[in-house]
Amino acid sequence: MTGRIALLALTVFLLAFLISPQTFAPLFQPFTKNDAPAIYVQSSLLSLTLSHLTLVALAVAASTLVAVTLAILVTRQSGREFLPLARTITSVGQTFPPVAVLALAVPVLGFGAGPTLIALFLYGLLPVFENALAGLTRQSPQVTEAALGSGMTASQRLWQVELPLALPILLAGMRLTAVISLGTATIGSTVAANTLGEVIIAGLISSNTAYVLQGGMIVGIIAVLIHYGFQHLEQIVARRRGQG
């Protein structure tokens, strides 16, 4: 109960701050120097937050689609030999730092959201792939035998048995990817993407700690909300599947 109250309080505080940031100016004023503005006003904090979340949501959706597809393919009889290749592909994003991906993508895609999406997409593949793989391969043999005995086709077993049972573990991978992507997306502002990194970078350039705190605070609160939101969803799904 205490945890839910704390999450509700964080949500209310975040919404109030994004809707009316100037109301909280006295809170950040002690962190400014030489009468610098306490609240970032070059862009709307609300619009930057929505743009940031949109980039993360698109990247997580794309990573999940590709990673789950690969996990399904390599857990079928005909695709098991491609498991090492699939692991290599999904590990690319973890091998190259997001900054390096941005540097390589900008000459091809130009400045803006494109390079950031590519970096987040690649960075998010591995957690979803490994969790989807674990969920699909660690199921009880009795469940598979029961599905075979009931006359289900391979497609029916996948969609009606295997994927539903793997869903809690898959959601855990998506949670990890979403939280990582949320923090990583801040670097997108270095290539002109509209993210909360703009606020942090502006604070670093102008030595205005208030700006840095605002950008970091918004990202941090949203990360906590996403983490516990996914975790709660995982528990609900697990209980419904009899895995709780």
Q: What share of the chain is helix, strand, coil (3-state, %, to 5)?
A: 85, 0, 15
- What pLDDT score does 165 carry? 87
Task: Enter the CATH code of domain 2-240.
Answer: 1.10.3720.10
Interval 116-137: pLDDT, tens: 999 999 989 999 999 999 988 8
Instruction: Give backbone dihedrals phi and psi of 43, rounded to 5 degrees, phi first.
Output: -140, 155
Residues 12-64 have pLDDT tens digits of 999 999 999 999 999 999 998 888 899 999 989 999 999 999 999 999 999 99
- The pair of structure tokens assigned to 138 is 């660690």
- Say which residue the tokens 């509209």 belong to: 194
Compute the distance between CA of residue 179 and CA of residue 71 in angstroms, rounded to an integer: 21
- The count of residues in the chain is 244
The DSSP string of 190-237 is GGT--STHHHHHHHHHHT-HHHHHHHHHHHHHHHHHHHHHHHHHHHHH
Q: What are the residue ranges spanned by the domains of the chain?
A: 2-240
Both tokens of 172, joined, read: 């855990």
Does this model's pTM top 0.85? My answer is yes
Cα distances (Å, whole numbers) of residue 93 to 6, 31, 87: 34, 36, 11
What is the tens place of the pLDDT at every residue in 142-172?
777 777 777 777 788 888 888 888 899 999 9
Q: Which two tokens stand for residue 242?
A: 């009899």
Q: Which of 221, 226, 218, 227 has its CA nearest to residue 51?
A: 218
For residue 101, CA distances in Å to 65, 97, 108, 130, 242 come to 20, 7, 11, 22, 41
Cβ neighbours of 78 (radius 10 Å): 8
* Digit-coded pLDDT (tens) for 186-229: 988 888 889 999 999 999 999 999 999 999 999 999 999 999 99
Distance of alpha carbon 136 from its chain centroid, rounded? 22
**Predicted confidence band of residue 242 (pLDDT cuts 50, 70, 90):** low
Q: Which two tokens stand for residue 210?
A: 């208030």
